[in-house]
Amino acid sequence: MERHGTEIHVNEDEARAGSTPHIVRYVLAISLILAIAALSLIWITGALHTSDAQDNQSIEQRAAA
Q: Which CA distances in Å does 22 have to 1, 25, 27, 61?
A: 23, 6, 9, 53
Consecutive H or E run containing 41:
helix 23-49
pLDDT band at 3 (very low <50, low <70, confident <90, very high): confident
Map out the domains of the chain as residue ranges.
21-65
Whether pTM exceeds 0.85: no
Measured distance CA(20)–CA(33) in Å, rounded:
23
Is pLDDT at 1 greater than 80 in this prediction? no
Q: What is the pLDDT of residues 23-49, one digit of tens each?
A: 889 999 999 999 999 999 999 998 887
Is pLDDT at 55 greater than 70 in this prediction? no
